[in-house]
Amino acid sequence: MADFDLHNWLEVSYYMREDYRLLVAGMALKQIASAEPELQQLARATFHALPAQGARSFVKAHPIEQRKALAKGMQNFPQAAAIVIALWSFAAPEQIALLKQAAEMAGLVFDAAFDWRQGMKGFFAFEDIPLLAGLADGLGAKTTEQNYDHLKLAALWLGSAVTNRDALAGPQADESADESGQDATTAVES
């Protein structure tokens, strides 16, 4: 079984297009009011410390400036990045549910207790979750660029929730093992 190292959510923000990072930040801001009290408190405390242009504090800034400050904070503050992604997960339930359903049909099993607290701990790289990444690619091929980005982020979000992690490699890993076994057998027989 492969080693699965959790990466900090700060890392994923570096790979986001600027427009998508702004979108995710905006989605997160809209979710604060409806989030669980513990997540609300974490978000408000963390975001309050972010500098926002045109205001003395993040809270007093115009929503557009808050979104810009949050998008920038995602690249510089690990806690801010993790909270934004956790809030995003509440704003993108359709994409997460769609990918999760496809993954379950492909044989992945998810921890029923997985929530934003576990999700904030980090993500597995796409290389570690080729089945989820491939499913997101397949589903994303038939949708808009923005929705595709949400599906890719959903793959990262869901990766650490998988309980049968050996299945994350997908069927191609089993096939290549079979093929390499056949090749070795053929080589031994010769």
Q: Which two tokens stand for residue 17?
A: 């297009």
The whole-number pLDDT of residue 56 equals: 86
- 27-85: pLDDT as tens digits: 999 999 999 999 999 999 999 999 998 888 898 999 999 999 999 999 999 999 999 99
How far, rounded to the nearest angstrom, does the alpha carbon of residue 122 sit from its chain's CA centroid?
8
Q: Which two tokens stand for residue 157?
A: 């979000």
pLDDT band at 103 (very low <50, low <70, confident <90, very high): very high
- 42-52: pLDDT as tens digits: 999 999 999 99
Q: Which two tokens stand for residue 35?
A: 């989030």
pLDDT band at 3 (very low <50, low <70, confident <90, very high): confident
Residues 6+ apart with CB under 8 A from 138: 102
Contact 80, 73 (CB under 8 A): yes
